[in-house]
Each structure stands twice: as structure tokens, then as C-alpha cells.
Amino acid sequence: MRSSGGLHFKTYLLIFMMVIFGPLGNVLLGKGMKRIGTASMGTPAEAFNLLSRVLSSGTIWLGIGSLITFFAAYMLVLSWADYSYVQPASSVAYGMVALLAHFMLREVVTPLRWLGVLIICLGVLVVGHTPPRTTEPSQ
Amino acid sequence: MKEVIFYLLIIGAGTGGELCVSRAMKAVGEVKDFRPAALLGVASRALRVPWMWVGLSLMGTAFFALLAVLSIENVSLVVPVTALSYAGGALGGRFFLGEQVTRRRWTGVLLVCVGVALVIIGRR
């Protein structure tokens, strides 16, 4: 198992990108879908109509672009770091989602929900003190 | 009820998809060269691994379920609820990918799950 500074640096850099672009993508998708509103998908025509409205929304496409950036960083980091390390470490993104939802979408986040976010961040801190790889790299 | 089905799809298909993608990327090997041409080569190699296609299909399903539930609920509720996949993720990492999930890491995952539960309870 390698635990050099370089391995940790690129791991943290890509996780940082995940923390920024993942939540931003979700918030943009939420904003776009709220504009489109709930719609019936009972018939193929209704489903097609909804899909065309989704695909013609600039906000949705910005969200998709952010999520693609997130996904690229995610795949790269998974090429050397454990899934069970990366997934919890990226959970600080939940705090970012709450912040962005509060400030960008004016969603009300209750004190109990903020406490939950704080505990999530504490969990991330604990996970961050474990080695990023426990399996042998493939050749 | 509709929301529950969407959440199950997001959690189940999302976690399954991530596990499959992770398995595919492990087969590709560690990425050491970050130049665009090298990254295209990595993407090309990754797309030749069948697990990648299974993973992408599952993640696509989870994505459309996410879009559907986002049209009904707030982002600050939906995204934390999807974190219920953490327990499944750690179990999958241990048993599907053969990773060693340490006690300390389990503790972190548990704390994250408690936090997520509070976020859900804190719904107005």
C-alpha cells in the first residue's frame, strides 16, 4: 500500500472537485425541475413532453455539466482509492448542498437539519483519517 | 408512495452503479497521467470494461429518478436522503470489491448516517 504525499494530494484535490461540482449540479437540477414542475407521465406522449421540457432547460444542462465534471473526478479518484473511502469522504458535499439550497434556492433549513449536516461533516473527518487504499493496485 | 419508489431507485441503482463503476476503474488501474490525451485513453479503456456499462446504465436510471423526485421535493431534503446508500456502499465495498473497511471507517460511516437521519427528522 502506498501512502505518499502525492497520492494523498491528488486524492484530496479530486475529492475537493467532487464536493464543489456535485452539490452545484444537484442544486441546479433542483432549480430546473422546480421550474418545470410536477407532471403526469401516464402516457408515452406525456412522458415525451416532460422529457422535451427537461432537455430544453438551460439550468438542467448546467446541472448536467456540473455533474459530469463531478463524475469525471469521481472516476479518476476511484482508479486508485477505495470506494468505501471515497464515498463517505465526499459526503461533506451534503453540507455544501444545504448551503447552496439555502442561499441559491431560498430553501428553509431547520436547526436540526444543520445539526445533522454538522454530524455528517464529523463523520467525514473520522473517515479522512483512514488510508485511501487497502487493496493492491492492478498491474 | 411515488417518492419512496424514486428514493429506492436512486439509492439502489445509484449504489449498484457506483460499485460497478468502481470495479471497472480498478480494472483500468491507477491514473498517473492527467494530460487530455492520456485521460481520453483512460476513458477508452474504461468503456471496454463491461462493468462500466452496467454501472453507467444503473447510474442513468438513478439520475432520472433523481430528476423526478427533485420536481416534488426540496434539494436540501432529497440529497441527504440519498445518503442512505452509505451503509450499502460500505457493505458493497467490503463484500463486492474486497476492500478492508476498518472499524474507524465504519465509525465515520455510522456518524454520517446519524447526521443524515437528523437531516430527515429536521424536515419542516
Residue A79: which domain range? 5-127
Q: Do the domain assignments include residue A134? A: no
If you average pLDDT over residues B34-51, what whole number do you get?
86
Interface test with B, best of A4, A66, A113, A115 (most B CBs within 10 A): A113
On the question of pLDDT at A27 being above 90, the answer is yes
- Chain B 2-61, residues with CB within 8 Å of chain A CB atoms: 18-19, 21-22, 25-31, 34, 39, 42, 46
The predicted model gives B62-90 an average pLDDT of: 81
pLDDT single digits (tens) B92-109? 778 877 878 888 878 888
Helices (H), B29-49: 36-46
pLDDT of residue A1: 47
- What is the pLDDT, as a whole number, of residue A133? 61
Those of residues 6-45 in A touching chain B at CB distance below 8 A are: 23, 26-27, 29-30, 33-34, 36-39
Length of chain A: 139
Query: How many Cα atoms sit within 13 Å of B108 on the Cβ side?
Result: 26
> Cα torsion for B82, B61, A100, A67, to the nearest 10°?
130
Is the model's pLDDT at B40 over the cut of 50? yes
Domain count, chain A: 1
CB of A88 within 8 A of CB of A124? yes
Q: What is the mean predicted confidence (pLDDT) over B73-86? A: 79
- For residues B68-91, give the mean pLDDT: 79
**What letters, b where the CB count within 10 A reaches 16 and e where it falls short, cover B72-93?**
ebbbbbbbbbbbbbbbbbbebb
Pick from B45, B64, B70, B116 the residue to mutate for testing the A interface (most A CBs within 10 Å): B70
Alpha helices (H) in A37-82, listed in sequence order = 44-55, 58-78
Cell of B17: 452503479
| pLDDT-based confidence at residue A64 (cuts at 50, 70, 90) | very high
Per DSSP, A43 falls in state S
In this structure, is residue A136 part of a structural domain? no
Inside any domain, residue A132 = no
Report A:77-136 residues touching B (Cβ under 8 A): 78-80, 82-85, 87-88, 91, 93-94, 97-98, 100-102, 105, 107-130, 134-135
**Structural domain harbouring B27:** 2-121
- Is A108 part of a structural domain of the chain? yes
Domain count across chain B: 1
Residue-averaged pLDDT of chain A: 81
With beta carbons less than 8 A apart as the criterion, state whether B18 and B55 touch.
yes
Say if CB B105 and CB A84 are below 8 A apart: yes
Is A57 domain-assigned? yes
Let me know if residue A138 belongs to a domain: no
